[in-house]
Amino acid sequence: MHLDRTGKAIISSVVLTLLLCSFFSFPSNNQKDAPTQDRYEFKDGKMNKPFVLNTGWNLISIPFILDNNSVKKVFESINKTHYVVEYYDAYNTSDRWRSYSQDKPDSLNDLYSVDNTMGVWLYLKNATNATLVITGSIPDTTFINLRTGWNLIGYPSIKNRTVSQVFQNLTDLSYEVQCFDKGSPYSLRNMGQNEVFHMGLGYWVYVSVDCVLRIDWR
């Protein structure tokens, strides 16, 4: 996976549907093919979230605090299908893309863990009957370090917020947010200030200076 000069990732199309047992309803976020209703199950003091995945690339994020952040553990529920996980590390200037492939030996992989600050690309060769199940603790507040330029982040919050609300506490900087849109070039497009962030999706964020983004769960 590569970025063009604007920071856009070159990927194939993806539709991500989020399904669970007992649910909360959210308003539409106007992102093409993004979910408009999420369902979540609470069990033993933790939240459970299955993702029904599509063949090809899926752009997701892990919204919870996990007991084990290793890639193998996080994605063990789909270990019967071929999968690849990729992450854009804005702080690794020598090699920004890190990846884990189920088919490669560990010595050839360089992505070993994921957390709730990250947006990741998940590729499945065949997603038939593939459901990713994530279980973790709810974070009160998450702080995401953003480096000048492009960052690939998650959104660890149950509360939908507009772009302007997410960035309201960051002043004296310029920013840009991109979301998935399979009808746009590179399957990404710029988000408007009134469009909504959704838990479970990944987002490209450009900032003009290094800063820290605060995301409250509620």
User: Domain residue spans in the chain?
Assistant: 17-136, 141-216
The verdict on pTM exceeding 0.95 is no
Burial 170-208 (b: 16+ CB within 10 A, else e): beeeebebbbbbeeeebbbbbbeeebbbbbbbbbbbbbe
Cα 35 from Cα 26, distance rounded (Å): 9
Q: What is the pLDDT of residue 22?
A: 29
Q: What is the pLDDT of residue 10?
A: 39
Q: What is the pLDDT of residue 32?
A: 53
